[in-house]
A and B are shown apart, each in its own frame.
Chain A
Amino acid sequence: EAGVAQSPRYKIIEKRQSVAFWCNPISGHATLYWYQQILGQGPKLLIQFQNNGVVDDSQLPKDRFSAERLKGVDSTLKIQPAKLEDSAVYLCASSTPTAPNTEAFFGQGTRLTVV
């Protein structure tokens, strides 16, 4: 079974530029999450999708971050404009909400450096 795919793996941009990350979840997983992991910290949830709808985006800085999952499969997370403090690893995860006692599966992440 293929895992959660993310691209790119690494990205370096200058502050005030824009950037986009892509995630393709495990096939059949209706729930998709984006987490931000700042160096030295645990991952923090940014947004959760159920199919193509947003379940929770309470911790997403909406003035600069946006995310979509238009067809309920893959997802894009965008930052515009980027700030130095956005340097982090962005992790995508997916899970199947209907199966009991299952966990979320994580991709390898995209490491963003803002200079």
Chain B
Amino acid sequence: AQSVTQPDIHITVSEGASLELRCNYSYGATPYLFWYVQSPGQGLQLLLKYFSGDTLVQGIKGFEAEFKRSQSSFNLRKPSVHWSDAAEYFCAVGAFGSARQLTFGSGTQLTVLP
């Protein structure tokens, strides 16, 4: 069975600083990987996804993530954080085939200081 670990429960950064959110996954085949963002009272918005090909994936809002098979990681990065990026971030691994399902990590809460 697949699993996702987000080791950082809460991260605080200053506005304008760089950001890296960690994600490690466990999956028996080539994973399909996602990062979602959730603002208070809102649903999940997809930031970016990896299915195959280039291991550096660009997403919305200036985010990017890099798939590293050797480390079973899919870390999310942003070079300069904006106050509006404060939210909870979820990494997820997808199982495809007959059942397209997502297994989510427990999330990382991002606080942005002015």
Q: Are both chains from one complex?
A: yes
Q: A91 near B44 (CB under 8 angstroms)?
A: yes
CB distance from B32 to the nearest CB of A (A): 8
B residues in contact with A33, CB < 8 Å: 101-102
A 85-115 binary contact with B (CB < 8 Å = 1; else 0) = 0000001010101000101111111010000
| With contact pairs A55-B98, A91-B44, A108-B43 given, residues A42 and B51 touching in the complex (Cβ less than 8 Å) | no
B 80-114 binary contact with A (CB < 8 Å = 1; else 0) = 00000000001010100011111111110000000
For chain B, the count of residues having a C-beta within 8 Å of the partner chain is 24
Closest to B6 in A: A42
Report the tally of A-B residue pairs with Cβ distances under 8 A: 56
C-alpha gap A108/B42 in the complex (Å): 5
For chain A, the count of residues having a C-beta within 8 Å of the partner chain is 26
Interface hub of A42, A55, A106, A111 (most chain B Cβ within 10 A): A42
| With contact pairs A103-B34, A106-B44, A107-B43 given, residues A42 and B99 touching in the complex (Cβ less than 8 Å) | no
A residues in contact with B34, CB < 8 Å: 103
A residues in contact with B100, CB < 8 Å: 31, 48, 95, 97, 104
CB distance from B7 to the nearest CB of A (A): 13
- Which one, B44, B51, B106, contacts A101 given CB within 8 A? B51
Q: B46 near A43 (CB under 8 angstroms)?
A: no
C-alpha gap A44/B90 in the complex (Å): 12
A 22-51 binary contact with B (CB < 8 Å = 1; else 0) = 000000000101010000111111001000
Given contacts A42-B104, A55-B99, A105-B46, 20 further A-B pairs with CB under 8 A are A4-B43, A33-B102, A35-B102, A40-B107, A41-B106, A42-B106, A42-B107, A43-B90, A43-B102, A48-B100, A48-B101, A56-B101, A91-B43, A93-B44, A97-B100, A101-B51, A103-B94, A107-B43, A108-B42, A109-B42
Q: Which residues of B contact A (CB under 8 A)?
A: 4, 34, 36, 41-46, 49, 51, 90, 92, 94, 98-107
